[in-house]
Every structure is written in structure tokens, then in C-alpha cells.
Amino acid sequence: MSDFRALVLIPSYNTGPILVGTVKAARACWPDVWVVIDGSRDGSDVTLQRFVSGVRILRLRRNRGKGAAILRGIVHAAEAGFTHVLTLDADGQHDVDSIGRFMAIARDAPNALVLGQPVFAPDAPVLRVQGRRVSNWWARFETPGSDIGDSLFGMRVYPIKDLLAVMRETRFMRRFDFDPEAAVRLCWRGLSCINLDVQVRYPSRNEGGISQFRYLRDNLLLGFMHLRLVIGACRRHGPFARARENW
């Protein structure tokens, strides 16, 4: 694709010192890296600006959630002429050395959704590993015939035009529900999925590791999201859809 132009987009909320290391590593792998500071109050944006050059920093005044931060980023990216965005978590869990591989696949398949397929180390939190299996099952149920490998993993490449379109169709997918709902809605839009294995690590507290996942709050959010998407899937693919075809 001759006009393929991509950036790495990193949403960050109170990530602390580990943000600088994540951004530096991303910059070593890809020239265009943007960070959206999602209402952080820990001074990480000041530290980032001081120690890392060549990075565009966007700021939200208050914490609005991962999806809202990504939406802010892709709106500006589209205006700047970018066609694709690779989303990367700020907390050091994603393998930045895989950025080039993701971008190469996206360049060759510009109309596809390139999804990271997490490969967990033995020390990965059991609740996180087991819990995502439930979300993955529902995501596949909601998109019959698609190939969503992992609905929750945040390292992935999106065609910006398509992602903007599905986000503007709904007031949801602005927080932790962003990753799975984006995958489902983009499959509904007709995008195919390409799944790439990528290593995942969970930095220790001594390494600056931090998680914004809140077990009860975010699982309730995901439950409500899947309820909405199942209803949407039934309207598209189930008895409701067949009834409309016969009217």
C-alpha cells in the first residue's frame, strides 16, 4: 500500500516512571509515536517531555478512559494524514520489538484488523489469563465466521478510517470496554482479522509495574458490553435478522 502511514499510539493514565521506558523503546522501533495523557496527576507527562524527544503528547484534562484517549489520538492522527494506528499499552506489558512485524503485516493487508495474540509467561496472573477466555468466547459468538484470536489484548493495528467510523456510531467503548468492542464492531463492518503471537510480561512493582484494571468495576463493564453486543449480534445474524429479510 503506497499511502500506508502509521503511528504508534500510547494511552496513559498515572503510569508513573515506566511510561518513559515504554515510549523510548517504542521510539527505537518506530519513528512516529504519540502519547495521550488521560488526565494523569502523577507528573508522568512532565517526565516524558523532559527525557524523551520527538514524541507528540496529547492531554485530556480529566481521566476519561482508554477508549476516549484513543479516540482523541486517532482524530488528530486522521487530520495529520495517518492511515493506521498501532495501539500500545503504557505499562510495559507489550513486546515493543514486535512493532515492526505488526506494521509490516498491516502494510500488506491494509483493510485488515491485526490483532495481537498474547503468549503468557508462567508467572502471568491466573485470574487475568482465565478471565479473558470468557470474553473471547463471547466475542466469537457475537461475530460468527470471524477469527478474533484475543478480544482483550491491546496491542493491535487498526485502519484509522474504520475505527473512527465505528466509534462515532456509539457512545460506548470509551473505557476498558474499548478493545473487545472495537474488535467486534470492526468485524461487523467487514474487516478480516490477522492474529499475531506476541509475548506478554507483567513488570513487578520494583520495575514500576502498575495495573489500572479493577476486578469488579471492569468485569461489570465487560458484562454490560457483551449484553449489548449479543443483542446487536442477534439483530444482525440471528432470528431478528432472518425475520427482517422475510418482511
Q: What pLDDT is stored for residue 246 in this prediction?
A: 35
Model confidence band, residue 124 (pLDDT cutoffs 50, 70, 90): confident
Neighbours of 220 (CB within 10 A): 11
Domain around 31 = 6-242
pLDDT in tens, 214-242: 667 777 888 888 999 999 998 887 644 54
Q: Kindly state whether residue 247 falls inside one of the protein's structural domains.
A: no
Among 2-6, 18-22, 68-72, 209-213, the least confident range? 209-213
Query: For 39-125, where are the alpha helices, taking DSSP H only?
Result: 44-51, 66-79, 99-108
CATH number of the domain residue 185 falls in: 3.90.550.10
pLDDT at 5 > cutoff 60? yes
Q: What pLDDT is stored for residue 133 in this prediction?
A: 87
Model confidence band, residue 206 (pLDDT cutoffs 50, 70, 90): low
DSSP 8-class letter at 123: T
Q: Kindly state whether residue 219 falls inside one of the protein's structural domains.
A: yes
Q: What pLDDT is stored for residue 228 in this prediction?
A: 92
Q: Kindly state whether residue 60 falls inside one of the protein's structural domains.
A: yes
Q: How many domains does the chain have?
A: 1
Region 59-64: mean pLDDT is 94
Measured between alpha carbons, how far is 68 from 167 in angstroms, rounded to an integer? 9
Model confidence band, residue 121 (pLDDT cutoffs 50, 70, 90): confident
Q: What pLDDT is stored for residue 64 in this prediction?
A: 93
Q: What pLDDT is stored for residue 240 in this prediction?
A: 44
Q: What pLDDT is stored for residue 123 in this prediction?
A: 74
pLDDT at 92 > cutoff 90? no
Measured between alpha carbons, how far is 247 from 235 in angstroms, rounded to an integer? 14
125/236: higher pLDDT: 236
Q: What pLDDT is stored for residue 242 in this prediction?
A: 42
pLDDT in tens, 62-84: 999 999 999 999 999 999 999 99
Query: Which residues are CB-neighbours of 21 under 8 A, at least 6 positions away?
Result: 92, 208
Please give the C-alpha separations between residue 182 and each of 104, 151, 211, in angstroms, as whole numbers.
Answer: 21, 9, 21
CA angle, corner 138, sides to 137 and 144, nearest 5?
Answer: 90
Q: Kindly state whether residue 1 falls inside one of the protein's structural domains.
A: no
Q: What pLDDT is stored for residue 218 in this prediction?
A: 72
Asked whether the CA dihedral 23, 27, 30, 31 is positive or negative, the reply is: positive
What pairs with residue 11 in β-bridges? 36
Question: Global pTM?
Answer: 0.88
Q: What pLDDT is stored for residue 236 in this prediction?
A: 81
Q: What pLDDT is stored for residue 2 in this prediction?
A: 59
DSSP string, 151-184: SS---EEEEHHHHHHHHHT-S--SSTTHHHHHHH
